[in-house]
Chain A
Amino acid sequence: MIEIDGITKVYDGTAAVDNVSMIVETGTITVIVGTSGSGKTTLLRMINRLVEPTSGEVRINGDATSAEKPHLLRRRIGYAIQGHGLFPHHTVARNIGAVPELLNWSKGDIRARVDELLTLLAMEPAQFRDRYPAELSGGQQQRVGVARALASRPDLLLMDEPFGALDPIIRMRAQEDLRRIQQQLGSTIMLITHDMEEAIRLGDRVAVMDAGRLVQHGTPAEIVARPATEFVANMVGDVERPLRLLSLVPVSEIMEEGPAEGDALPAEASLRDALSACLWTGRDAVPVMRDGSGPGRVTLASIRARAERRA
């Protein structure tokens, strides 16, 4: 568990981060979202003490980060940044093994870990281990950056706009990969983005920052359904709010018995997918696949009723 307790950073009399407190549960993704200059990067950098807080404290599993030497602290916190920051003169394997090397792992352990991570990220170790960053595509570089941040099995993984430099399609895949890996490893992740879409898609919890303050901290559904301030509402985008909300609800939640025509949707599809299927094919209901008992269905009317509940 990460506890951020009244943390503040003042630069030349102005607070870049103003008395922010929040708790990040172990094994979850918290996405901090805000415009540029909102203080989100400063907040993140205070957690691994790349920036020293003016006041306040961060505790990881109960231990204050200020009690440890900064460079030792950073070795147990993973850190991935926009534009990957890979060492251009080191191979993929040396890049990924950088922190274990700092921690004096044995060569064999490092090698095993590198191969394990490359496999996890769907990069064939034999093929990629000895390449240099310049020989990889943008998406591959970014994955190596994530692997490097995960290498020493850190207590916490900080990610500063990790997908910022990727084009939309690769970005989507990278987000899915991150979700999958996080669930597989049970990592605790704090990720920064300026993209609300990304925040809602990735976050177990979303923290919205504006002008150095934490203006709302909650589940994606809460953020979308009940924006705390006008700023948050703007970030979410009023027009798309119903659709965003529907995208967070799985069809299984309002599935009912009954027949429907056409191709069936998988059970983990969202209501947004269901609505889209209805409108596109002009049907009032779509079938949904289900384990055991035959297909169920979701009707247009029930989607509408769910959207009006707003939560």
Chain B
Amino acid sequence: MPLPRSASALSPPGLLFAGLGLFLLVTPFMTLAANRIVAGEGLRAWALAGPGATGAGLAAIVAGLLFGAQNVRRRLRLGGAAIGLCGLFWLIVRGAPALLDGAGDYARVSPAAGFWALLMVFLLLMADALAQLSPGPLLRGGLLALGLAVLALLLGSGVLSDLSIAQEFASRKSAFVAATLRHLGLAFGSLAAAALIGFPLGILCHRKARLRRTVLPMLSFLQTIPSLAMFGIMIPILGWVGASVPGARTLGIAGIGFAPAFLALVLYSLLPVVGNTVAGLAAAPPAALEAARGMGMTVGQRLLRVELPLGLPVLLAGLRIVLVQNIGLAVIAGLIGGGGYGTFVFQGLNQTATDLILLGALPTVLLALVSAIVMDILVDLVRATPEARP
């Protein structure tokens, strides 16, 4: 493809990506190891298989980078990111069986640093192109759904099943499903509990300045306690509750496991929920509140008709923080027997099995990213008030 000549026809971030991407192409793209524990040998992209198999992938990557570097057709930048991603996965799909061919029964192939870094580059290119196009919330939702569908297709079709991480998954299918459910339960359950406690508390804090001055600093100190310490401190507390409160143990409340992890997550969630509720309710213009009072709205009517609708985007932003934070923190539950993806991460760290670590870490990252994007879309959707049109 001919490069546009004038400098303004080039995208500076795109040029950065192109330079970075071309450099990354000469770093190891996949590793081949004799078994799941030992360190493997890194292989560059063109060495994965015959030129017939790798050529198309390499060409797609280079084309994607070049499309991304121009700034004449902005949609083409998005297309470049998509083409580049196709190239990356093409190389993996064609490379894995070629590498495994005759490498022994226990041999494992995994994507290496080059693949992951290029994946990052193309995802960032995609994000940059999208930011330029600034699509509306509904279109963003559609794109997200499309991306997830493609990912599901890729994972479901079995073309990646030769990879080491897929083999780790295959031997732990039921454990993975259980971990997923537990992780979701921890993250969304604690979100729900925090909302249930935090919204009323936030509304009270909004009303009573004295309560606000006590509660908010307390919650922010709670937030500073390192997660491992917080999870640890919950153990004796809930152990005591489980042992001394009748019936608590039958509810599953015990020193280790789900209960201390859940409680720790709820405590961490309170600051964003309460803080954003207070900030959201305070966002209503004073003149509008004065008018609402002056026209005879009761306290409840003011809250429901004026303060809450106007504060909703900020309230939701608080829930976004909590959800993303809790998906990440729920990993720590793996250390205190609380289950979730953390189980794989810490097992993997113990066994120095990289792919087991990834089996825990990648879904966590994906879950957090998707939640963040979905919540951002929701925040945009509830921003019902149009800004003044110029």
Residues of chain A touching chain B, judged by Cβ–Cβ distance below 8 Å, are: 48, 50, 70-76, 79, 81-89, 98-99, 102, 132, 134-135, 145, 148-149, 158
Contacts and interface: CB of A to CB of B under 8 A. Distances in A.
B298 interface: yes
Given A74-B294, A79-B295, 12 more contacts: A71-B298, A72-B296, A75-B295, A75-B296, A85-B290, A87-B305, A88-B288, A88-B310, A88-B385, A89-B309, A102-B295, A132-B385
Contacts of A158: 294
Interface in B270-318: 285, 287-298, 301, 305-306, 309-310
A86 B288 contact: yes
A132 B297 CA distance: 21
A102 B291 contact: no
B386 A85 contact: no
A85 B389 contact: no
A132 B386 contact: yes
Contact of B287 (A71, A83, A102, A132): A83
B388 interface: yes
Contacts of B101: none
Nearest to A149: B295
B151 interface: no
A166 to B, nearest CB: 14
Nearest to B386: A132
Interface of B: 285, 287-298, 301, 305-306, 309-310, 384-389
B295 A134 contact: no
Contacts of A134: 385-388
A135 B389 CA distance: 6
Contacts of A75: 295-296
Contacts of B285: 85, 88
A72 B196 CA distance: 32
A148 B310 contact: no
A151 to B, nearest CB: 9
Given A102-B301, A134-B385, A134-B388, A81 B287 contact: yes
Question: Which one of A48, A71, A145 has the greatest number of beta carbons of chain B within 10 Å?
Answer: A71
A75 B297 CA distance: 8
A89 B295 contact: no
A174 B292 CA distance: 23
Contacts of A82: 287
Contacts of A72: 296
Contacts of A83: 287
What 8 A-B pairs have minimum CB-CB distances, sorted nearest first? A85-B291, A74-B296, A79-B294, A75-B296, A85-B287, A134-B388, A71-B296, A83-B287
A89 B384 contact: yes
